Amino acid sequence: MSSTVLTVTLNPAVDKTIYVSGLNIGGLNRVRRTRTDPGGKGVNVAKVLNNFNVPVILTGFIGGRLGQVFLEELRKEQLNLDFVEVDGELRTNIKIVDEAHHITTELNETGFQVGEQDLFRLREKVDELLHHCSCLVLGGSLPSGVPSSIYYDFIQLAKKKAIPTVLDADGTALKEGVKAKPFAIKPNRFELEQLLGRSLETDEALVRAGKELIAEGINIVLISMGSEGALLMSQHEAYKVRPFTIRPQSTVGAGDSMVAALVYGLKKQKSLQEIAAFATAAGTMTAAKPGTEVCTLQEVEKALQRVQVSRISAHFSTC
């Protein structure tokens, strides 16, 4: 079987990162510097996998003059692109990085309008591309006109070809997607609380929540918790990973790097404990980079010894 990974980005964006010494809400702010990058969850995952020497194909929707600039920038990274063009303009997402307080504020536009014919063309493309891939990664928000069930549909397409899917979404897109039982999901704490409709304030509550999803048919649950680290669990194992201290530059793409590291670890048949460490190191290294720059394989491998992995299976009984 092919080793290629297919990533789908339905609502890509040009990410414009603005750096200020301290964000003054309601007042004048002097911009220290700016940068622009092609963005979107599937795009970021693909950039990391490319750095990890994993062949990847990117698809999704694209549109407008900015969309062509977006594609040209990705071609410079020698990525394999196969997007569906739609009417309308690619959105711009603003990331304001407060360097004094190490806080990133995001202002994300809605995106273009997608029609029924666009949806049909993308579904046909994904169905065809899956013949040449061994893993599907779905993630990110949905543009206007895209039904919340689209991730469910794509997961089912992949299942018919015995191809595992990793889902990283939120809101109704996540809620509908998990109904198709993807192989793995990567929610953060807030997204998991939204999905299950209850507060999850402790590690024990998060593990129980992950266990519920695994009992329903999901194989792996990776819960990102920012500076607190991550929880990774399967039916028989669960791990808590504590990251090392960094000076955060931008948290954009950190979760996507974790998804890419998860996919990489599965492909390399690493143990769940190894994947837990690898994913957390990847997310941490990306958070230490400006804009939407992502980690490299060498950086992650070097950082592995700095993360702390604890097995919590003693408190993890199967249902």
Specify the residue for token string 């202002």.
107
pLDDT tens-digit series, residues 135-192: 999 999 999 999 999 999 999 999 999 999 999 999 999 999 999 999 999 999 999 9
**CATH annotation of 5-10+39-89+111-315:** 3.40.1190.20
Polymer length of the chain: 319
Confidence (pLDDT) at 151: 98
* Buried/exposed code over 285-309 (b: 16+ C-beta within 10 A; e: otherwise): bbbbbebbbbbbbebbeebeebbeb
Closest to 230 measured CA to CA, from 290, 199, 194, 186: 186
Q: Are the C-beta atoms of residues 231 and 205 closer than 8 Å to each other?
A: no
Q: Are the C-beta atoms of residues 63 and 87 closer than 8 Å to each other?
A: yes
Helix then strand then coil, in percent of the chain rounded to 5, is: 40, 25, 35
pLDDT tens-digit series, residues 241-253: 999 988 777 777 8
The residues spanned by each domain of the chain are 5-10+39-89+111-315
Q: Are the C-beta atoms of residues 285 and 300 closer than 8 Å to each other?
A: yes
144 DSSP assignment: B
Work out the average pLDDT over 26-43.
93
Confidence (pLDDT) at 1: 53
Q: pLDDT above 90 covers what percent of the chain?
A: 84
pLDDT tens-digit series, residues 282-307: 999 998 887 678 999 999 999 999 99
pLDDT tens-digit series, residues 105-117: 999 998 899 999 9
pTM here is 0.92
Q: Which residues partner with 96 through β-bridges? A: 18, 105
The residues annotated with a catalytic role in the active site are 256
Confidence (pLDDT) at 293: 83
Backbone angles phi, psi at 286, to 5 degrees: -70, -40
> Which tokens in the block code for residue 64?
């407008």
